Amino acid sequence: MGAMDREWFYKDNDTKPARRPEPGPGAGSGVQRSPSGRVPLWALEESLNGQLQEHAPGRTTHSRKPKRVRKPRRRRSGRGLRLGTVGVIALVVGLYLTPTILDRYILAPALPYLPGSPAPPRGVDASDVPLGLPPASNGSTSFVLEESPDDSQDFVAYDPCRPVDYVLRPDFAPAGTDGLIEEAVAEISAATGLTFAYRGITSEAPSEDRDPYQPDRYGKRWAPILISWTSPAEIPGLEGDVAGLGGSLYAHTPGKPFVYVAGQIQLDAPDANVVMQYPNGRDLVKALIVHELAHVVGLDHVDDPSQLMYEENNGLTALGDGDRAGLALLGAGPCVPQL
C-alpha cells in the first residue's frame, strides 16, 4: 500500500436524551409541576442518572428501573445544572463512543474504493454549490453549538452541497403520528437550508454503535440518518423518562473540515404513545422530534427556557429565535467533497 496520506475517524456528536414529555396545562389533575407551574418535558441530566451516575438515592449505575417511575425534580439553579450536564455528556461520550473512537483509520487514497473499505467513495451526490441556503440569521445568540473536535473549526455541520439522507424504521410508530417525522424534517430543513432526502423505510435496527458506512444495506455512500420508533427494551438509553435520543457521527480527512456524515434519532414509542393522548400531544411529539433533529444537525442544549433546545421543555412546541439562529448557522457549513 502506498503512502498513508489519508486519515479518517468517526465520533458521535453526543447522543442526547430527551425526557418523556409530561401532560401540558389542562391535561390531567395529577400532573406534577415545578413551583413556577411549568411542566418539564425533557431534561438531560435526569434522564441518564439511572444509567450512568449515582445522583439519586437508591439508584445505582446500570440498574434497571421500573418504567414510568417519576424521577425527582431536578434543581433549578442554572450553574449547577450546567455543570451536571457537562459531566453527563462526558460520560455519554465515553459510553457510546468507545468502540467508534477506536476506529481511527489511516487510508491510502484508493482504499475507499476497495472492498471492505470503512468509508464510501468521495463526494457521492455532491454538488459544486450548496443545494439550498439558510435563512438570514435573526441575530439571536441564544444557542449553543455542539463542541467542535478541532480548535480551528468553529462548529461541525452537514455538507450543504449534498442531500442529507434519512430513512425511517417505522415499526412501533404510535397511532396518530403519521406524517409527523416528515413535518419535523421540513422544519429543520427550512431553518437550516439543508436539503433532506427521504430514502424510504428500512429494517435496520437502531443501535448505540452504528456503522456510518453500510454498503450492503445502503450502497456505497454514507449511511442515511436512521430515524426509528423504538423502546427501552431495544435501546436501554430510553429507560425511564427518556423520550428520545439523537446525534450524528462526523468524518474527517486531513486538511479539510470535519463534517457530519450519518446520524440517528431513536424515539421512545411507548412514551410517545402516552404523550399523544395529551390535548396537544401531537405538537409535543413533533417538538421532541424537532429537538432531536436539531441535535443531529449540530445544536447542543442552551440555558434559555424560551428555546426548544433548552434541556427542559416547558410546553414549547415551536423553535425559538435562538434555535433558529443556530440552525441557520449550521446550514452554512463547508462543502467537503473529499469525504
Angle separating helix axes 321-330 and 180-192, nearest 10 degrees: 70
Q: Interacting stretch for Zn ion, rule CB under 5 A, among 14-22, 130-138, 143-151, 277-285?
A: 14-22
Cβ atoms 167, 199 nearer than 8 A: yes
CB of 145 to Zn ion, least distance (A): 14
Q: Interacting stretch for Zn ion, rule CB under 5 A, among 11-19, 30-38, 167-175, 271-279?
A: 11-19
- Measured from the CB atom, the residue of 18 and 259 that comes closer to Zn ion is 18
CB of 294 to Zn ion, least distance (A): 8
Closest CB to Zn ion: residue number: 16
Interface size with Zn ion, residues (CB under 5 A): 2
- Measured from the CB atom, the residue of 244 and 333 that comes closer to Zn ion is 244
- Measured from the CB atom, the residue of 16 and 324 that comes closer to Zn ion is 16
CB of 129 to Zn ion, least distance (A): 32
Report d(CA 265, CA 72) in Å as an integer: 26
- Measured from the CB atom, the residue of 78 and 200 that comes closer to Zn ion is 78
For 305, residues 6+ apart whose C-beta sits below 8 A from its C-beta are: 38, 312, 314
- Measured from the CB atom, the residue of 162 and 295 that comes closer to Zn ion is 295
What string of DSSP letters covers 72-89?
PPPP--HHHHHHHHHHHH
For 324, residues 6+ apart whose C-beta sits below 8 A from its C-beta are: 135, 138, 140, 191
**Position 16 contacts Zn ion (CB under 5 A):** yes
For 79, residues 6+ apart whose C-beta sits below 8 A from its C-beta are: none
**Position 286 contacts Zn ion (CB under 5 A):** no
Tell me phi and psi for residue 244, to 5 degrees.
Answer: -170, 160
Binding residues (CB under 5 A) for Zn ion: these are: 16, 18
